Amino acid sequence: MKSVSLYHFTGPDIKISIDAYFDGDKLIIDGYDIGKRVEEYWGDSDYEYVLTIPPEGVEFLLAYFNIVNNGQEDLLAAMAAKFNTNTCYSDIRKLMSDNGITCEGFSWS
């Protein structure tokens, strides 16, 4: 399974990693924050979050980025280029919601 990094940051008190990959025909956005700042905010030193975009969301994203032939690798590359900020998880979730696409999301700390 090919994975791309959407955002990665390492600082003295936090490390953030947000990746995207396909699980069959679903697109997964997988984030992990760890460090002192996370513990101060959440009460635990790590925080994990996952967004599962269903096939209709993938179809929307393919059209959004004007990608033909169901190019999963092209879609991952386009997402890495556009959503390469600390807010990418929220931005992608909002894009899906604004376009009527229901995604499964969950988090735990």
Q: Can you read off the two tokens belonging to residue 95?
A: 């894009």
Domain boundaries, the chain: 3-108
What pLDDT, on a 0 to 100 scale, did the predictor assign at position 44?
77
CA distance 16 to 33: 4
Q: 107 vs 1, 4, 28, 74, 83, CA distance in Å?
A: 22, 20, 13, 27, 20
CA distance 86 to 64: 21
| Nearest by Cα to 31 from 69, 82, 88 | 88
Mean pLDDT by 10 residues, the chain (109 residues): 91 95 97 88 84 97 92 95 94 97 87
Give yes or no for a contact between 78 and 27, defined as CB atoms under 8 angstroms apart.
no
What pLDDT, on a 0 to 100 scale, did the predictor assign at position 1?
57
φ, ψ (nearest 5 deg) of residue 41: -85, -45
